A and B are shown apart, each in its own frame.
Chain A
């Protein structure tokens, strides 16, 4: 089943090929415009070189830069046992060859992303705001979605597609500037002017304006498709689509915005970190499908397999479907399982109820950053724990519960 999904990225791959062709055509038109008749191939060569250099740069720094730019801290099992366990659980469900490295970002906005070109070197990062807001089932859904991206090899694909679109934007920008400062006029004089030069100029200008838009639209179309597929994967892994649905709702309801997100990194996140609440975004220019729609599709699933997702997607949107046909062919036909709120079969119960697990997660992530920040922990005999910041001014701190005075030294 999984190998077929990988093979079925062909459609997405065709879109990438279309973008590559667009780059070449743009290069050819610029070549003809700036270099005179017959210089098209040189323009193509320049375009390809620009693209190759950008690919190499992104290839060698991609993952580490993404993690560094977002200020991520690597965590070990003792730091955040629940998060670590959930990632391990989803690794097994996804059948990944190796558990991804786990990172936490200190940011109140709830979000998550996965990175890494191959499943063997992948990493998954979540914000502290996400861990403070979600319970265990919801976290499982979000991690399932991210590992779905890794499993479906989306990161590689989106990196590739993103660099291509970027190369087109840069080339068009430089080309337009060149035309503005009259680069093409001398050429047309040399070739004796005439109709063909004029036509080439018009074509080059139109392409320089349209190509970046088109490249971006294609890129976004691929991105949205991969989001749906990752949602479906999360539902199949967890066999509990409600977990992800409720997590998406909580994330959407959060008023905070991600501090580190830029337009370049936006498509990597589970929800678009840059979408402004209340501001209507045209569907074609969004990296992610609308959350309400994703939630509706997840909630409408009758079983925990790709076919159920496909049917629910069709019901919710009226569109044909987003799951590749071959993935549906020999689908497992797995049933849904109850969440931990009404823990049913042994083996599906979370350690505690959803509320309690949310509290535990919140405290584990807070304590992780308190340790990083050099806070001092003082347990009080009445059951409270005092956490003293390094810049604390007084020498004593009072426990508000029992009134005991603790020395802070």
Chain B
């Protein structure tokens, strides 16, 4: 009788632990999804702002066809990117192309005096900031998730229910290297 009760108690403890770990894994996966949604909102916002920007700068920047085209192409590459790693690569490319555009815009005082351009520039650079802050938070969440999925004992349950480690959103080194060093003021 006592042995049976002990076994029953043990079973309850094990099942409880099992449910706990499973739920925390599901919770983490939802957090990762939520964090990615935040990044995605900002990426889409940037995507939507670019045609407006191109329209504004076109009239001023006559000698920068290549720079402008690079932005348009980088934007087009995003629509073509299927998987998340591809998407991340394409988005970094757009960041770099935009950085170059704002760097050369320094040479156009008329453009810099345009109220429309200034507010677009604030919107776009703020969106860049938002992307990188949302990315920072996303990566933190992914790290929490991956630690749980890969470390003992979480890995046992993760393996049983097919929880996969998530992909970090890291700016590719290429984009970092190409980003212009601009000195303001």
Q: Which residues of A contact B (CB under 8 A)?
A: 1, 81-82, 85-86, 88-90, 92-95, 237, 239, 330, 332, 334, 340-356, 360
Contacts and interface: CB of A to CB of B under 8 A. Distances in A.
B121 A352 contact: yes
Contacts of B119: 81
Interface string B122-164: 1101101111111011011101100100000000000000000
Given A345-B171, A351-B125, A353-B185, A330 B137 contact: no
B80 to A, nearest CB: 21
B99 A82 contact: no
A92 B140 contact: no
B106 to A, nearest CB: 10
Q: How large is the interface on B (under 10, 10 to 19, 20 to 34, 35 or more residues)?
A: 35 or more
Nearest to B38: A92
B176 interface: yes
A334 B132 CA distance: 13
A124 B98 CA distance: 32
Contacts of A348: 128-129, 132
A85 B137 contact: no
Question: Which residue among A81, A86, A347, A360 has the maximum number of chain B CB atoms within 10 Å of its CB?
Answer: A347
Contacts of B137: 92-95
Nearest to A334: B136
Interface in B112-126: 118-119, 121-123, 125-126
Contacts of B122: 81-82, 85, 351-352, 360
A344 B42 contact: no
A341 B121 CA distance: 16
A237 B185 CA distance: 26
A349 B102 contact: yes
B70 interface: no
Contacts of A343: 181-182, 184
Contact of A330 (B99, B132, B143): B143
Contacts of B102: 349
A253 B95 CA distance: 38
A95 B130 CA distance: 11
Contacts of B118: 351-352, 360
Contacts of A341: 183-185
A92 B129 CA distance: 10
A90 B136 CA distance: 11
25 contacts: A1-B140, A81-B122, A85-B122, A85-B129, A85-B130, A89-B126, A90-B133, A92-B137, A93-B137, A95-B141, A330-B143, A341-B183, A343-B181, A345-B171, A347-B128, A347-B171, A348-B129, A349-B102, A349-B128, A351-B121, A351-B126, A352-B184, A353-B184, A354-B184, A356-B184
A350 B125 contact: yes
B179 interface: yes
A332 B146 CA distance: 13
B57 interface: no
B90 interface: no
A156 B119 CA distance: 37
B184 A340 contact: yes
A342 B119 CA distance: 21
Nearest to A89: B129
Given A92-B42, A93-B137, A332-B143, A346 B95 contact: yes
Highest count of chain A CB atoms <10 Å: which of B99, B128, B136, B141 = B136
Nearest to A332: B140
Nearest to B102: A349
Given A343-B181, A351-B126, 16 more contacts: A1-B140, A82-B126, A85-B122, A85-B126, A85-B129, A89-B126, A93-B134, A93-B137, A95-B140, A344-B181, A346-B96, A349-B128, A350-B125, A351-B118, A351-B122, A354-B184
Contact of A92 (B125, B134, B183): B134
A308 to B, nearest CB: 15
Interface string B72-93: 0000000000000000000000
A355 B185 CA distance: 7
B90 to A, nearest CB: 14
The list of the 8 closest CB pairs from A to B, nearest first, reads: A353-B184, A353-B185, A93-B133, A85-B126, A346-B99, A347-B132, A346-B95, A346-B179
Contacts of B171: 345-347
A233 to B, nearest CB: 13
Considering residues A85, A95, A332, which has the most beta carbons from chain B within 10 angstroms of its beta carbon? A95
B61 interface: no
Contacts of A93: 133-134, 136-137
A340 B99 CA distance: 13
Contacts of A81: 119, 122-123
Contact of B175 (A346, A354, A356, A360): A346
Contacts of B176: 345-346
Nearest to B141: A95
A89 B123 CA distance: 12
A102 to B, nearest CB: 14
B71 interface: no
Contacts of B129: 85, 89, 347-348, 350
B25 interface: no
Contact of B98 (A330, A346, A356): A346
